[in-house]
């Protein structure tokens, strides 16, 4: 069990061959992370359901990456290809002996089509000694219950275990199409999903004759490459020798112009009230200003970098919040944008740099605290201090700032620039009724917090410690205008 937890990223107490036993606390913590990731009851014990889950056939890539203190590392996307036209090949001698080559090629084409159907990606098979982007082969070896594994971009290596009983679109063995589609997800940049019904979940679920790509998979791959580009066909004018007639005009009520160009169901990356009381929503590379009475205003959308100087153009922050600090009897209004930058990709692993942009509010303008434009990073502390990639944040006071990852919440003190010791909790424990993987959090008044997840939101009462409303649509209640009439 220790080897299993180490192999898939849950335990990093020692190297596998060191003969060193992990501590009881390390094992309990690792088991709890495994149980949470796989949707089991979180007991911290190697109970029967946990052992049964570990026996299931699965992909060989890690589920999570741990740091030196056995906390999950943030940002597990595996990067992306720098192009959208990719070539592939089965390397010479790399076909399985269990199936005909034509059947294998057909399954591979179908598996790649799963991803090209929802992205601009296009795949082309090449043969011979030409160099391909994606290289596929079957090999025998000691794999245990590992069916296959792949490497993040731009490696392009995809390996299948030849010792498996490979079949085509059947449950009489291991279905090649299903496993290949999963591994190609890794080769394109996706890591494992915690959603059991997603294709990118780590465990093999068998062949589904009614297979459809899960929305979680679609969101993940489109986050990397965008949606599929559907060409617009220009209508052709029919040729005729008849004398043209004046078209009949239908009288309709004119529709007022819509000063609105964001989808009512848009997935936001955060919301916050600024120091004037307006609401700012962060969407893609834009910030959208609203008020609670009229919704989106006329100056509704601006690039984030136009409002917050030196913030990387075209990027979106992972979390936003603001606080008021006092220093020498002077009140400072400070706005924070947090962003994780990917800097290294290597073999199912990703590494990232944390950056926080700290702005001072001054007479309607936001001024970066370092005028030379350098990114401040010391506020986030040591690289290993943050257990998960920040997804949302809100501040009750300057010394009580809640930061949210995918499953955990922890608190910062802005005066000491440190995480508050012992403040790490599961989101479901500290904020019952709020789902995991929220996209934003907004402090509304001294007791009410808005939690945004996708295109919906919840309101939470900090004093009563309960959800008071939700889920409700963000568009209808905040954007208003055309969204409120849907």
Sign of the torsion formed by the C-alpha atoms of 25, 28, 32 and 38: positive
Alpha carbon 306 to its chain centroid, in Å, reads 25
| Distance (Å, whole) CA 229 – CA 253 | 34
For the domain made up of 270-485, give the CATH fold: Hemopexin (2.110.10)
- Residues above pLDDT 90, as percent of the chain: 18
Bridge partners, 143 (sequence order): none
Listed residue (259, 206, 187) closest to 483, CA to CA: 259
Q: Tell me the Ramachandran region of residue 145: left when phi exceeds 0, alpha when psi lies from -120 to 50, beta otherwise.
A: alpha
The arrangement of strands across the sheet holding 295-303 comes to 270-273, 279-283, 286-291, 295-303
Mean pLDDT in residue range 44-59? 89
The arithmetic mean of pLDDT across residues 379-405, rounded, is 70
Under the banding of pLDDT at 50, 70 and 90, the label for residue 337 is low
The helix (H) or strand (E) run that includes residue 395 is strand 392-397
β 85-90/134-139 pair status: parallel
Helix (H, G, I), strand (E, B) or coil at 365: strand
Give the pLDDT score at 352.
41
Q: Report the alpha-carbon distance of residue 155 to residue 346 in Å, rounded.
A: 8
DSSP character for 30? H
119-122 contact pairs (CB < 8 A, 24+)? 119/84, 119/221, 119/222, 119/224, 119/225, 119/226, 119/227, 119/228, 120/84, 120/225, 120/226, 120/227, 120/228, 120/229, 121/81, 121/84, 121/85, 121/86, 121/188, 121/225, 122/84, 122/85, 122/86
pLDDT at 20: 64
In this structure, what DSSP letter does residue 236 have? P
Q: Provide the token pair at 110.
A: 């179908």
Q: Average pLDDT in the 366-374 region? A: 61
Length of the chain: 486
> Percent helix, strand, coil in the chain (nearest 5)?
20, 30, 50
Note if the pTM is more than 0.75: no
Sequence ranges of the chain with CATH classification 2.110.10.10: 270-485
pLDDT interval class at 180 (50, 70, 90)? very high
**Distance (Å, whole) CA 323 – CA 395:** 6
| Residues of each domain in the chain carrying CATH 3.40.390.10 | 85-225
Pick from 86-100, 234-248, 296-310 the range whose average pLDDT is largest.
Answer: 86-100
44/25 Cα distance (integer angstroms): 10
Count other Cβ atoms within 10 Å, centred on residue 338: 24
What's the maximum distance between 2 C-alpha atoms anywhere in the chain? 92
Nearest to residue 76, comparing CAs of 411, 391, 423? 391
DSSP output for 108-147: HHHHHHHHHTSSS-EEEE--TT---SEEEEEE-S--TTB-
Looking at every residue in the chain, the average pLDDT score rounds to: 75
At residue 37, does pLDDT exceed 60? Answer: yes
Q: What are the residue numbers of the active site?
A: 183
pLDDT of 146 > 50? The answer is yes
Residue 344 binned pLDDT confidence (cut-offs 50, 70, 90): very low
What tokens appear for 355 in the block?
Answer: 């950056």
Task: Using the predicted structure, report yes or no on whether residue 485 has a pLDDT greater than 60.
Answer: no
Here the tokens at position 63 are: 């589920």
| Neighbour tally for 85: CB within 10 Å | 11
What per-residue confidence (pLDDT) applies to 438? 84
Q: Where are the beta strands (DSSP E) in 75-116?
A: 85-90
The string of DSSP letters for 407-443 reads SEEEEEETTTTEEPTT--EEHHHHSTTPPSS--EEEE
Domain 85-225 top-level CATH class: alpha beta
Q: Is the pLDDT of residue 374 over 70?
A: no
């Amino acid at each position: 069990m220790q080897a299993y937890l180490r192999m898939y990223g849950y335990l990093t107490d020692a190297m596998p061959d060191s003969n060193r036993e992990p501590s009881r606390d390390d094992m309990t913590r690792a088991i709890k992370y495994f149980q949470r990731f796989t949707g089991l009851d979180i007991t911290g014990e190697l109970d029967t359901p946990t052992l049964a889950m570990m026996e299931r056939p699965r992909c060989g890539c890690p589920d999570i990456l741990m740091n030196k203190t056995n906390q999950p590392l943030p940002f597990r996307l595996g990067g992306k290809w720098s192009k959208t036209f990719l070539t592939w090949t089965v390397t010479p001698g790399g076909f399985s002996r269990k199936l005909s080559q034509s059947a294998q090629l057909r399954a591979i084409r179908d598996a790649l089509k799963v991803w090209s159907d929802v992205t601009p990606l296009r795949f082309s098979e090449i043969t011979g000694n030409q160099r391909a982007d994606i290289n596929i082969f079957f090999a025998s070896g000691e794999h245990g219950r590992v069916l296959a594994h792949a490497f993040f971009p731009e490696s392009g290596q995809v390996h299948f275990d030849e010792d498996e009983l490979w079949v085509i679109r059947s449950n009489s063995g291991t279905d090649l199409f299903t496993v290949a589609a999963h591994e190609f997800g890794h080769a394109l940049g996706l890591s494992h999903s915690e959603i059991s019904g997603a294709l990118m979940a780590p465990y093999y679920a068998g062949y589904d004759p009614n297979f459809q790509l899960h929305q979680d998979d679609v969101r993940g791959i489109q986050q990397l490459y965008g949606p599929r580009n559907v060409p617009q066909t220009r209508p052709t004018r029919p040729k005729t020798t008849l004398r043209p007639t004046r078209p009949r005009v239908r009288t309709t009520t004119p529709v007022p112009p819509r000063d609105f160009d964001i989808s009512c169901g848009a997935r936001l990356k955060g919301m916050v009230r600024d120091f004037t009381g307006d609401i700012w929503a962060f969407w893609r590379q834009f910030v959208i200003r609203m008020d609670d009475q009229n919704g989106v205003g006329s100056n509704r959308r601006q690039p984030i970098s136009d409002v917050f100087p030196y913030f990387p153009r075209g990027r979106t922050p992972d979390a936003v919040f603001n606080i008021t600090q006092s220093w020498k009897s002077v009140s400072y209004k400070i706005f924070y944008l947090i962003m994780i930058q990917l800097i290294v990709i290597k073999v199912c692993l990703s590494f990232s740099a944390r950056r926080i942009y700290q702005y001072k509010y001054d007479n309607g303008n936001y001024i970066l605290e370092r005028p030379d434009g350098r990114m401040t990073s010391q506020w986030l502390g040591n690289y290993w201090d943050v257990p998960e990639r920040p997804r949302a944040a809100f501040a009750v006071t300057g010394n009580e700032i809640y930061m949210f990852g995918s499953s955990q919440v922890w608190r910062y003190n802005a005066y000491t620039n440190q995480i508050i010791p012992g403040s790490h909790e599961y989101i479901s424990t500290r904020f019952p009724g709020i789902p995991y993987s929220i996209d934003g959090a907004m402090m509304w008044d001294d007791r009410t917090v808005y939690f945004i997840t996708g295109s919906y939101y919840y309101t939470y009462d900090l004093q009563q410690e309960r959800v008071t409303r939700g889920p409700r649509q963000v568009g209808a209640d905040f954007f208003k205008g055309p969204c409120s009439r849907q």
